[in-house]
Structure 1
Amino acid sequence: MAFSIGGGSAFADSKMDNVITKTLGTTYRTGGTTTSGFDCSGFTKYVFTKMGLSLPRTSKAQYNVGTTVSKSKLRSGDLVFFNTLGNGISHVGIYVGNGKFAQSSSSRGVTITSLSQAYWANRYVGAKRVMSTSSYQAVAYD
């Protein structure tokens, strides 16, 4: 396993962890929603579809679902949002614990990245929790 999505929590070795691990290294593709190439929101939609949860297609639309979560309260599986183009929400990833998030980056494809990297820290907008703890526990494991 490349990382532990739960950061040592009860969610380590979860279904979400396995789905993300299998997609690491997948190339970036604008408009992509499959393992032949993902854009950022296509990646998050793909992972959550595998978890049995439907998300909207775009990062802006995904920002409009779920419950707002402060950065200090992030939990594995929360969506994290960024303003990379200077005009509002334009990028999304999945928080995986230990200050890191999974994303489909236009320069590196699907990767695990630190939220504290200057580029991402300066563009961080907020986070949303799209699954309650009980819902997550119900679908997280194979």
Structure 2
Amino acid sequence: MTTARTSTARRLARPTFALLAGAGIALTPQVAQASTEPPPAASSSEGSPAAPDQAAQTAVDTAMNQRGKPYEYGAAGPDSYDCSGLTQYAWGAAGVELPHSSKQQSQTGTPVARADLQPGDLVFFYDPVSHAGVYVGNNQVVHAPTEGDVVKVTDIDAIGDYNSARRVG
């Protein structure tokens, strides 16, 4: 019985395939390929506000250019990062030295109220501070989240318990 149904189905499908092939339509399955390239860097022209100065813009651009690179505890680039390694690397490109510790970074620079965040500000999460990222505008933060993840942009409210922010540079 299965053979009869299969044969009938094949007989009925043949004209359809021939018609589609005659129309130049290929019936080959397409497989999505994951890109190994990180997405292009965001810029102020993509809807994000401009950073307040060139150093902050350099830090934002540098951090954004690391998207897609893997998280690795203790790493500070250029191939992988932990959270404070990413912020250290980004601000280092702007000529500002930061410690490789989110807790120590949270005590560097000038405190900033959440309502006054500007692109380039360092943002910190949890109490005690155990995570850091670079604010890029529009309530978005570029950060290296955790083992098994990659550097990415996330809404500030989706990261975890917001703690504080600092302006460096």
TM range (shorter): 0.7 to 0.9
Aligned residues: 125
Gaps of at least 5 residues in structure 1 are: 132-142
Q: Give the match for residue 64 of structure 1.
A: 107
Deviation of the 1:104 alpha carbon: 0.5
Deviation of the 1:11 alpha carbon: 5.7
Q: Secondary structure at the match of 1:28?
A: coil
Is the contact made by 2:49 and 2:138 (CA closer than 8 Å) also made in structure 1?
Answer: no
Deviation of the 1:12 alpha carbon: 9.8
Is the contact made by 2:42 and 2:61 (CA closer than 8 Å) also made in structure 1?
Answer: no
Between Structure 1 and Structure 2, the one with more helix by share is 2
Q: Secondary structure at the match of 1:38?
A: coil
Question: Relative to 1, partners in 2 of residues 1:9 and 1:33: Cα closer, same or farther, differing over 3 Å?
Answer: closer
Which structure ranks higher in relative contact order (CA pairs < 8 Å, sequence separation ≥ 6)? 1
Displacement over 6 Å in runs of 4+: none
After TM superposition, the structure 1 = structure 2 runs for residues 30-69 of structure 1, keeping only pairs within 5 Å, are: 30-69=73-112
Q: Give the match for residue 80 of structure 1.
A: 123
Deviations 1:29-80 (A, max 9, x none): 0100112210000110011111100001100110111111111000000000
Find the partner of 1:3 among 20, 42, 52. Answer: 42
Is the contact made by 1:42 and 1:57 (CA closer than 8 Å) also made in structure 2?
Answer: yes
Find the partner of 1:102 among 142, 146, 153. Answer: 142
Deviation of the 1:10 alpha carbon: 6.0
Is the contact made by 2:60 and 2:90 (CA closer than 8 Å) also made in structure 1?
Answer: no
User: Quick one: distance in 2 between partners of 1:52 and 1:37?
Assistant: 20
Between Structure 1 and Structure 2, the one with more strand by share is 1
Q: Does 1:111 align with 2:152?
A: yes
TM-score, normalization by structure 1: 0.78
Cα-Cα RMSD: 2.2
Deviations 1:69-117 (A, max 9, x none): 111000000000001xxx5000000000000011011142210010122
Q: Give the match for residue 124 of structure 1.
A: 162
User: Quick one: distance in 2 between partners of 1:10 and 1:75?
Assistant: 6
Q: Give the match for residue 25 of structure 2.
A: none
Gaps of at least 5 residues in structure 2 are: 1-39
Is the contact made by 1:24 and 1:110 (CA closer than 8 Å) also made in structure 2?
Answer: yes
User: Quick one: distance in 1 between partners of 2:43 and 2:139?
Assistant: 12
Deviation of the 1:4 alpha carbon: 3.0
